[in-house]
Amino acid sequence: MASATTPDDSDDPVTVLTFDLEDDRYCVRADAVASVFGVADDESMATADDPWNAGSVSVGRERVRVVDLPRAFASSARTTARVAEPKLLVFRVTDVDDAYYGWLVDDVDITRTIQPSDLEPTRMGGHMPHVKGHLEIDGEDVIWLDEQAIHG
């Protein structure tokens, strides 16, 4: 497993896809994402008992198991404000039941190319194993998520 300061085996440039959850910006390796869809009705996911397993949706002929990231990452002390039309990041990997993994997010931006050596450890340290670290992209602090850790 790669360390927080060097998430990849080399320092070759990596393309990441940036996205938003409330006021925070995140990214994930772009090559891990198969597609991005708009979600017209997220009510069943928004009310699921477990945001880490917020149900599934059909995309074409494929089933996508959804993680409701705005709720999963929100502290229990604050209410998560829902956006009108969230986006669903669908990843290239599937679970044991051949369902794709998907993350419900507030908004998706564009891809950016970054240097893995720019990644710094987060202040949270080992408390958030799904976070590789953070870096600055276009003047904004961006948290790099480890999709493999989130998918389990």
Model confidence pLDDT, tens digit, residues 113-137 = 998 888 888 765 556 678 888 899 9
Q: Is the pLDDT of residue 60 over 60?
A: yes
Rounded to 5 degrees, what are φ and ψ at 51?
-65, -20
Cα 132 to Cα 144: distance, rounded to the nearest angstrom: 5
Query: Which of residues 79 and 33 earns the better pLDDT score?
Result: 33
Instruction: Among 29-38, 58-67, 68-77, name the most confident range.
Output: 29-38
